[in-house]
Structure 1
């Protein structure tokens, strides 16, 4: 009977671990889904911002170090 009790305890421990792993997997799937939605939204916003930039302005970025401060 001792071996049967030990097997039952080990089986119960495995079922608990499986349940916890299943919950963790669900949480990770939900987090991944939310991140993917955020990535898609940010990609759409980036595309909209790129459309707002004039054609010639994309290649000529000015550095603030090259500009003379207003008090000169």
Structure 2
């Protein structure tokens, strides 16, 4: 194999690897956005859950009205 063909082959491999790395990076960035959005949704759901539990548990802790 001549030196020129070897250099051409290495340049071709590097271009392919650069493209693959960029594709993987794009996927990673998108997944990071999805994870961040899911974390925000989970925090909102947890907050709503705690508010609902607080409403129902507060009713149970109160003493019954005097006419019972």
TM range, normalised to the smaller chain? 0.7 to 0.9
Residue in 2 that maps onto 1:66: none
Q: CA RMSD in A?
A: 0.9
Residue in 2 that maps onto 1:70: none
1:5 is displaced (CA, Å) by: 0.4
Residue in 2 that maps onto 1:55: 60
1:46 is displaced (CA, Å) by: 0.2
Between structures 1 and 2, the one with greater helix share? 2
- List runs of 5+ in structure 1 lacking aligned partners: 57-72
Consecutive aligned runs of 4 or more in structure 1 exceeding 4 Å deviation: none
Q: Deviations over 1:10-43 (max 9, x none)?
A: 0000000000010000000000000000000000
Residue in 2 that maps onto 1:22: 25
TM-score with structure 1 setting the length: 0.75
- List runs of 5+ in structure 2 lacking aligned partners: 62-68
